[in-house]
Chains A and B, each alone.
Chain A
Amino acid sequence: MPDRKKNPNTPVFQPAQPTTQSASSSSIGPQLAGLLTHEDLDRAQDRWRVARARGKGRAALSFSNLRLLWLLVGPGVLVFLGENDAPSMLSYSATGARYGVGFFIPFFVLTFVMGFIVQEMTVRLGAVTHRGHAELIFDRFGKFWGFFSMADLVLGNFLTLVAEFIGVRAGLSFFGVRPGVAVGAALLLVFAVITTGRYWTWERITLGLAIFNCLFIPAALLAHPDWPALGHAVITWTPFPGGDRAEIILLILSTIGATVTPWMLFFQQSAVVDKGMQPRDISAGRVDTFLGAAIAALVAIAALVATAPLFHHGIAAADFQAAQFAQALEPLIGRAGAALFALGILEAGVVAAIAISTSSAYAFGEVFGTAHSLNRPFREAWPFYLILFGSACAAGALVLVPHAPLEFIVLVVNVIAVLAMPPALAFLMMLVNDAQIMGEYVNTFWQDVAGVTVTVLLVVAGLGFGITTVFPQILAR
């Protein structure tokens, strides 16, 4: 298990190079034959299914090509539906309740386009290098900068995990479930999902859970949206929200900043590696990421539309929690709509808890050189599973501590995530433009333009969000 320790009996290989050569035809193939692990066998089986589907596929919409897409979809959809987590959904809902439909609908779409541009780079990094994000930062920039970025990740991930369990607790409270039972049930689900010992099974179960993020869509339909007004908002980006200028700018900045968070970069790259994706899968990885961004944007808009009746009825909902949103919506969109909304918040918390705790465990394994794959059984990768489940348990337990400052944790989560983004994006851009590890898969000119534009916007948003959070009087009227 202590992978990086030197063992005099094992062969010494040359430094890694970006390659698409199969292991059997490489010079080190014969030496690797006796060193295969359980993880390699599971990954080979997944690759065999992909090769088989790819071998049969000819027409663009053939069954084999759809099967190929089914086999390769996963990390992108999971990362974006995971990003639609409890604090995000509450934020979108608060926006709808406070400002109704208008400017924020096309604005949400824009932020998810930015998210897609950034996350696509992690697909390429993972598929080409077969290394996780944390591992690459440690390899290329050394321990000093590596631990700096890890500190940001660990702090942000833990606080976000706490916020997810707050969402779980709040979502189930609508149905009268006690906090201890709600958190315990969510932890049991996290535990059940990770005991499969197989990345593929874990991914499919989590994807199955993540689809329930779409519960916000029927909730929005039950709110009987004003379709012409929605169409007008999409085309004209109006009406622009009125009211306190500082509050609106803060909301815009926080929405931009919260679209791409550090855990998403680490999670998707590690998941692409664990899935065994190769450079020939990059285009499918792009489709996966696009699908994730599109579904997540649709759900975000649905949450806004579902809570817009609160705006039209002049119900103040700025400080609502999940259960309060659902209770306030009940007379306006019915019991079914309110229940769907509460279940959506519950799902958002559970799926994000699974994804974020997995992201922490991947990063821990990559940094400390211990086994870090969901294809490994517990006995081979117990530190990985302990970090994964332990971080979820610690966050869940904190939510149950009487008088814990939960409201402040929810507030600080976004601030920490936004503050940590500039260095995370700097590392991402440098890694994806590093020809020594990416070879021909470095950014093209236009990918660089898009990446730098998003990075600058996110850095400005991060700075602006941080400054206005700490010094709100700067933007006051």
Chain B
Amino acid sequence: MESKKKEEKTAFIPQGYKQEALRAGHPDLKDPEVVLSLLEADQVVAAKQRTRFGRRELSFKVRLMLWGLRIYVAIMLVIVAISVFRALHGH
């Protein structure tokens, strides 16, 4: 409990980043180490571009639900299109 409180108190300080650097007027963004210390590992554009979470396994129930929703949207869009067409032509 005590260590968790201590962890929460220091959580604001980015890992690998010096406390005194936070007191400076501006971060030294020319130093890659400073930039990387302020961002999370998968927050850097290069890391995001080259990593994917990958496909999840879709169970039969999930696929059935997704297909059901797809059919629902398709049918409703057709019905809406027909009703708009009728309204535009004064039926």
Q: Residues of A at under 8 Å CB distance from B?
A: 3-4, 10-17, 19-26, 28-29, 32-37, 39-41, 43-45, 47-48, 51-52, 54-55, 57, 129-131, 136, 139-142, 145, 148, 152, 276, 278, 280, 369, 405, 408, 411-412, 415-416, 419-420, 422-423, 426, 430, 434, 436-437, 466, 469-470
Contacts and interface: CB of A to CB of B under 8 A. Distances in A.
A430 B15 CA distance: 32
A139 B55 contact: yes
Interface in B20-42: 22-23, 27, 29, 32-42
Contact of A22 (B41, B48, B73, B76): B41
B14 A47 contact: yes
Contacts of A13: 47, 50-51
B29 A145 contact: no
Nearest to A46: B38
Given A44-B39, A419-B80, A142 B55 contact: yes
Nearest to A47: B38
B83 to A, nearest CB: 5
Contacts of B11: 280
Residue of A13, A44, A469 ringed by the most chain B CB atoms within 10 A: A44
A276 B14 CA distance: 14
B12 A422 contact: no
B83 A20 contact: no
15 contacts: A3-B49, A14-B51, A23-B41, A23-B44, A24-B16, A24-B17, A28-B41, A29-B36, A32-B44, A37-B46, A55-B22, A130-B40, A140-B53, A430-B62, A466-B80
Contacts of A426: 65-66, 69
B6 interface: no
Nearest to B11: A280
A374 to B, nearest CB: 13
Contact of A130 (B15, B33, B42): B42
B37 A24 contact: yes
Contacts of B70: 148, 423
B1 interface: no
Given A36-B32, A54-B12, A469-B83, A22 B49 contact: no
Interface of B: 11-17, 19, 22-23, 27, 29, 32-56, 58, 62, 65-66, 69-70, 72-73, 76-77, 79-80, 83-84, 87-88
A23 B40 contact: yes
B36 A32 contact: yes
Given A14-B51, A44-B29, A434-B56, A22 B80 contact: no
Contact of A16 (B23, B53, B69): B53
Contact of A420 (B45, B47, B50, B73): B73
A220 to B, nearest CB: 34
Contacts of A142: 55
A426 B58 CA distance: 13
Nearest to B46: A35
A54 B44 CA distance: 21
Contacts of A140: 53-56
A470 B80 contact: yes
B5 to A, nearest CB: 14
A353 B5 CA distance: 44
B47 A422 contact: no
B72 to A, nearest CB: 7
Given A39-B45, A408-B87, A15 B80 contact: no
A22 B55 CA distance: 25
Contacts of A19: 40-42
A430 B59 CA distance: 12
Closest 7 CB pairs of A and B: A35-B46, A54-B12, A26-B41, A24-B36, A16-B51, A33-B32, A23-B36
B38 A22 contact: yes
Contact of B12 (A20, A280, A369, A436): A280
A28 B55 contact: no
Given A23-B37, A35-B45, A412-B80, 13 more contacts: A10-B46, A19-B40, A22-B14, A36-B32, A36-B36, A40-B46, A51-B17, A55-B13, A131-B53, A405-B88, A416-B77, A422-B69, A436-B56
